[in-house]
Amino acid sequence: MNLVESLRAHRLLAIIRGTDPTAALRTVLALAEEGIEAVEVSLTTKDATSVIAQARAELGPKALVGAGTVRTAADAARAVDAGASFLVTPALVDGLQSGDGPDVPVLMGALTPSEIEGALARGACAVKLFPGSLGGPGYLRALRDPFPEVPFVPVGGVDAAAARAYLALGATAVGVGSPLVGDAADGGDLGELRARVAVFRAATAAEEAP
């Protein structure tokens, strides 16, 4: 499984944070039914590792169900044990590519040029540009000059309009949490979730990245 190729093809990473593990699992499955290929379950979600394990069991071994808010090597280990197919960090985290376990791709959080270099040095397959809202699409444009080959996935405050702008400027994909998921992972209406999915799928497919 190549996470970057999948993100480049589908251009949308859904991010789930919730207080209700049953609702969080329903949300993962609903997103998959609507064609969202990559879903991140934040470890701040109640019983997150159980949600990941159940989702992988339901969706099969090729499903891209990852763990987010991975802040330590211990977080990574329990996520991988639960079956996470990729890891997402909010910042630079050491010890995730120790060679002692399975080769699980890491989308590592970074903001500044120095942090981006640090993420790459730590073995990140792509850089989660976070918080994306701090600099917006214009900041991604500036970063693309010195880092033309780096796969960037902006996360944080990405609505449908921002998603279009980031992708038009060459983002590999965008990561979207509450603007897409809303309150579904807390027990909210899945019909409304499906409607938001349609909006974001249209937005991410609207323009081809250069």
The active-site residue out of 128, 149, 192, 208 is 128
d(CA 23, CA 13): 19
Q: Per the residue annotation, which of 40, 58, 115, 192 is the catalytic one?
A: 40
Residue 46 designated active-site: no
CB 15 within 8 A of CB 176: yes
Long-range CB pairs of 50-55 (<8 Å, 24+ gap) are: 50/21, 50/82, 51/16, 51/21, 51/24, 51/25, 52/79, 52/82, 52/83, 52/84, 53/82, 53/83, 54/25, 55/25, 55/28, 55/29
What positions carry a catalytic annotation? 40, 128
